[in-house]
Structure 1
Amino acid sequence: MTPWTLTDIDRALHASWAADTCSPDDLARSGWHPGNPSWGHCDITALVVNDIFGGDLMLGDVHCDGEHFGYHWWNRLPSGVELDLTLEQFQHGQVVTAPRVIQRPPGPLPRRWAEYELLRSRVTAHLGSLPPPAGGTSLGAPPATSS
């Protein structure tokens, strides 16, 4: 395995983000465009970064002009360093507040599973093999459904 730099990982993510991996909520809010490629990708990007480095998933509330706008995900590495590779998506005065640690759901994600798998496969195409997904997630497994 060839060692990666953080720049390698960041470039692979930038090259992998697209409209088909953007959050449907963010697509509806303002669409996706290559000028702001990380828009709508914080959740699944944080999961891919968690696959690579481990650590904690962080979640914060996003506010804009005093109104609650949504949520933002990033990573806290095992060293305690917080790493946010999608913070640049906020270009219109949005502010992230109330950070908290979130447990990664075990197994397939109940939401955005297909987008996570697609993003992870694109990053893998750029970097080579990634560590297995954290939290016991098995790639290729369908998301859990309720009866």
Structure 2
Amino acid sequence: MVPWNLIALDNALRASWAADTCSPDDLIRAGWQPGNPAWGHCDITALVVNDIFGGDLMVGEVHLNGEQHGFHWWNRLPSCIELDLTREQFQHGQTITAARSVTRPPRPLPRRREEYLLLRERVAKHLGHLPEPSV
């Protein structure tokens, strides 16, 4: 088995993001395009990264022009380094505020289960077997 690194994980995620794994919210899914593949993938990407590395899930509020436009998810690794593999999706001056650590949702996921499983499956095709979630 070849050891993984963050570049391999990032490449596997980028090759796996698609319209069918994007958030189903009408405005988000309508905004997904291959030129901005991270769009609408922060929540399930953070879960896959958490499956592999553990640590904490982080969430913050997305603001644009003084209005909240949803939430953004990323990871805090056990080393306390914060890792955000989807931050690039915000290309119009959005800001992330009110960051906090949250408990991983229980299994089965109450929301976005099918997209999460599909993303996990695609990433595993690139990296090999993924560890099972700790929860």
For the residues of structure 1 that align with 2:15 and 2:33, how far apart are their CA atoms?
Answer: 13
2:120 corresponds to 1:109: no
Which structure 2 segments of 5+ residues have no match? none
Shift of 1:3: 0.3
Residue equivalent to 2:14: 14
Residue equivalent to 2:57: 57
Tell me the number of residue pairs that the alignment of Structure 1 and Structure 2 aligns. Answer: 134
For the residues of structure 1 that align with 2:121 and 2:133, how far apart are their CA atoms?
Answer: 12
Name the TM-score, length of structure 1 as normaliser.
0.88
Can you list the C-alpha shifts for 1:13-49, whole angstroms capped at 9, x where unaligned? 0000000000012x53442100000000000000000
Which structure 1 segments of 5+ residues have no match? 136-147
Residue equivalent to 2:122: 122
For the residues of structure 1 that align with 2:31 and 2:91, how far apart are their CA atoms?
Answer: 14
Root mean square deviation, CA, Å: 0.9
For the residues of structure 2 that align with 1:67 and 1:56, how far apart are their CA atoms?
Answer: 27
For the residues of structure 1 that align with 2:63 and 2:70, how far apart are their CA atoms?
Answer: 7
Shift of 1:2: 1.7
Name the TM-score, length of structure 2 as normaliser.
0.96
Shift of 1:134: 2.5
* Secondary structure of the corresponding residue to residue 75 of structure 2: strand
Runs (4+) of structure 1 exceeding 6 A deviation are none
